[in-house]
Amino acid sequence: MTELRVSHLIDEADELLDNKFHIGSYCLFMNTDDVQDILSKIKAILPEEIKTAETILKRRDDIYMEAQNRADRIINEAQNTAASILSESELIRAVREKAAKIQEQVKQNCEEMKNKAIEEADALRKSAYQEAIEIREGAQDYAEKVLSNLERDIEQIHRIVKNGQDYLSQQKGRGKNTPVRDFNNSKPYVEQ
């Protein structure tokens, strides 16, 4: 779900960049606060990935405890059953041997269940951690790209404004019919 939210925020940032006001090939206006707000939201979502990994680790511990409790219950039940059945001589020895075998089998089964649960929890933790790293790196790469594009656009706007100021200072005092230059083209324009 976090991945979808991060994706949605990145799409919003793209849309803001696509909807900026253009004159020719130059961008004259863009609300940088909106882009910064979206980038802040992306940064805020990333810690949720870490919380997800912690939840997975806690689930692993819960599975381990559940397996251990189940093993203890089975062992206790086996011991209680063996104790209630035990009687004299050969029957007692046979039952004890059977109980010991059952107990050993149960211990092996519980150990296998515990090991399997630990392996699955470790795999889930590693997967969640790797996914969190990939999402963070993707968000950082995207943020760097957006900021670079924004810097380039601002520099272009600054050049346009500077050229316009230079031109106006050159034209100051020349009169109304002086050709006006389009800053995107080199063709002069004369007011009629």
Residue 182 covered by a domain: no
Largest CA distance in the chain: 127
This prediction's pTM: 0.31
Residue 162 — very low, low, confident or very high, per pLDDT cuts 50/70/90? Answer: very high
Q: Is residue 120 part of a domain?
A: yes
Helix ranges (DSSP H) in the chain:
2-18, 32-85, 89-171
Residue 189 in any domain: the answer is: no
Report yes or no on 190 lying in a domain: no
pLDDT tens sequence across 73-89: 988 888 887 667 665 66
Residue 171 placed within a domain: no
Domain range holding 35?
A: 2-158
Count of domains observed in the chain:
1
